[in-house]
Amino acid sequence: MSKSTKQFQTEVQQLLDLVIHSLYSNRDIFLRELISNASDAVDKVRFEAHSNESLLEGNTDWKIKIVPDKTAGTLTILDNGIGMSMAEVEENIGTIARSGTKAFMESLKGQNLANNPELIGQFGVGFYSSFMVADRVEIVTRKAGDPAAGCRWESTGDGSYTIEDCTKESRGTAITLHLKEEMKEYLEEWKIKSIIKKYSDYVQYPICMDITRKEPVKGVDGKVIEGGGDIETTTEETLNSMKAIWTRPKSEITDDEYEEFYKHISHDYDKPLKTIHYSAEGTSEFRSILYIPAHRPFDLFYKDQKKGVQLYVKRVFISDHCEDLLPDWLRFMKGVVDSSDLPLNVSREILQQDVEIKRIQKSLVTKTLATLAEMKEKENEEYLKFYKEFGPVLKEGLHFDYANKEKLQELVLFESSKTEPGSFVSLKEYVERMPETQKEIYFQTGTSREAVENSPHMEALRKKDYEVLFLIDPVDEWVTQALHEYDGKKLKAVDRGDLELDTEEEKKEHEQKREEAKKQFGSLLDFIKGKLEDRVKEVRFSSRLTDSSCCLVADEYGINANMERIMKAMNQ
């Protein structure tokens, strides 16, 4: 067949115009897209060779090669993957075949794409991104197992392309970009190296390039010969490390390797407290390695903290701090997630709404909570270390993640009137050691252990030998708002409303005493009430004190003293 010229599908041309004219923000990604296609193509031929070995044609030295040619002004990306037949080139390159993209383009009909460049994040631009840097692109490809059927495609990206037969000895695809004048930077060794390091370091096939080095001529003794000139040697070097440890089976990875990888991605000098290597299959396919650091970072409570784990799509780097993979209350976690289902070109805005990301997040949260529960059970000392560093962040989850409240309430710990300073009790332990007469869970909020311990509100409870949880962390105020009940028992602030600690008998006795007091000191009470009229709602005799003479009590539903302090501090 001779050379023929064809028109792009309208949608393809729209997409191309958009790519060429509106997508400037990060041109470097064109190389990431082409390398990812090459890697996919090698995956495919390897997979298909399982049932048809002849496809391999004796060529299994899997490789992606980058060839910059400064004289010609071209950059070529070669692979020995599956290749394409002519029909496939027409189908894959000339049209938008992927149903998602097509439907998306349909929905955009009538809208001005060029005015909405962010929309492009909703589908992969893939191959077309080469037109960001090139004004002419050539594809020479030959399908595996079909030595006679090479194909050559070429386009300048302005409405049409040409396609013709050609001969190509080796299986696979070569994509040649004729770089625009102002894009010649992409021929520089350092530029290519840095893009590959950033985006394609963990691609599982070697990405190679011929590197030429000049060395002064040396004599037989190894010494440089003065005035001897330079000698040029060219060697093929691999530019990516290929070390994606999350893709390897757990049993083959040593503790040292996990540790080294942690240090690499977290920039932490210490080893992690816990490693969670987890892969999911089924509706959502991803691999992940998450780490709990041993220490909290200095910026854990800063607004602009660098949080979030790294995101890869099929080993191709997408983002360093993807905030949407884990909820805010797990923002201390480090790690990497590699999804098989996301498009390469996901934008930030898309990540936030993407259902796949939501699925991954749900799965990671479940896994993390299960790991923490297991740590608490079986490695309590380690759990306490974790809790001292990150407990306050975990508590935020009680307030913000209703779905996981049940699991989280088993993980939170508190100091109490029955723990040593710096030691904790869980809600479960608290309930287990409640005396039979005790019906509710008591807590007191405050600014320090000392302050709550010496509070007059403690007196009646101490007398009863009832344990009181000390909520002395600033975030505990969230806890009391989120957690009203545990194991069917109400959580009750000791400085609010009526505590109703008394038995029937005690009630009678106290009633009697109050009556007596009223008779004897009623006028004193009225006097105090008169003096404090504007400041308190009520002044009454109480049975909650044993040693102190008076205390302030908040309404059951009013704000308490601690909250009042916090609000004052916030100027409200």
Contact residues: Mg ion, CB under 5 A: 37, 126
Strand order, beta sheet including 274-280: 274-280, 286-292, 334-339, 309-313, 316-322
Which partner, ligand ADP, Mg ion, none, binds residue 41 by CB below 5 to 8 Å per kind? ligand ADP
b/e 143-165 (16+ beta carbons within 10 angstroms → b): bbbeeebbbbbbbebeeebebee
Helices (H), 113-219: 189-199
Count of alpha carbons within 13 angstroms of residue 13, beta-carbon side = 9
Least Å distance, CB 101 to ligand ADP, is 8
CB-wise, 19 or 413, nearer to ligand ADP? Answer: 19
Q: Which residue has the tokens 């540790």?
A: 259
Residue range at the interface with ligand ADP (CB under 6 A); choices 33-41, 155-163, 223-231, 519-527: 33-41
Is 95 annotated to bind ligand?
no
The residue count for binding ligand ADP (CB under 6 A) is: 15
Residue 31 interacts with ligand ADP (CB under 6 A)? Answer: no
Least Å distance, CB 147 to ligand ADP, is 16
Is 99 annotated to bind ligand?
yes
Cβ atoms 129, 357 nearer than 8 A: no
Is 124 annotated to bind ligand?
yes
Is 502 annotated to bind ligand?
no
Is 2 annotated to bind ligand?
no
Cβ atoms 314, 35 nearer than 8 A: no
Cβ atoms 312, 413 nearer than 8 A: no
Backbone angles phi, psi at 113, to 5 degrees: -60, -40
SS (H, E, C) 239-292: CCCCCCHHHCCHHHCCHHHHHHHHHHHHCCCCCCCEEEEEEECCCCCEEEEEEE
Is 37 annotated to bind ligand?
yes
CB-wise, 36 or 417, nearer to ligand ADP? Answer: 36
CB-wise, 33 or 354, nearer to Mg ion? Answer: 33
Please give the residue whose beta carbon sits closest to ligand ADP in the complex.
126
CB-wise, 41 or 309, nearer to ligand ADP? Answer: 41
Least Å distance, CB 486 to ligand ADP, is 49
Helices (H), 342-379: 348-353, 355-378
CA angle 221, 223, 227 (to 5 degrees): 125
Which partner, ligand ADP, Mg ion, none, binds residue 150 by CB below 5 to 8 Å per kind? none
Is 122 annotated to bind ligand?
yes
CB-wise, 41 or 394, nearer to ligand ADP? Answer: 41
Helices (H) and strands (E) in the chain, counts: 16, 20
CB-wise, 76 or 266, nearer to ligand ADP? Answer: 76
CB-wise, 37 or 310, nearer to Mg ion? Answer: 37
Is 92 annotated to bind ligand?
yes
Token pair listed for 208: 């190679």
Least Å distance, CB 314 to Mg ion, is 10
Bridge partners (DSSP) listed for residue 75: 68, 177
Token pair listed for 11: 């949608």
CB-wise, 92 or 305, nearer to ligand ADP? Answer: 92
First to last CA, the chain: 80
Residue 273 interacts with ligand ADP (CB under 6 A)? Answer: no
CA angle 221, 225, 227 (to 5 degrees): 175
Q: How far is residue 255 CA from its own chain's centroid?
A: 23
Residue 127 interacts with ligand ADP (CB under 6 A)? Answer: yes
Cα–Cα distance measured from residue 572 to residue 570, given in angstroms and rounded to the nearest whole number: 6
* Interface map 73-112 toward ligand ADP (x if CB under 6 A): ------x-xxxx-------xx-------------------
Residue range at the interface with ligand ADP (CB under 6 A); choices 7-15, 35-43, 196-204, 528-536: 35-43
Among 155, 173, 176, 319, which residue sits at the site for ligand ADP (rule: CB under 6 A)? 173
Provide the annotated binding site for ATP. Answer: 33, 37, 79, 84, 92, 99-100, 122-127, 173, 348
Q: Which residues are annotated as a binding site?
A: 33, 37, 79, 84, 92, 99-100, 122-127, 173, 348
**Which positions touch ligand ADP (CB under 6 A)?**
33, 37-38, 41, 79, 81-84, 92-93, 124, 126-127, 173
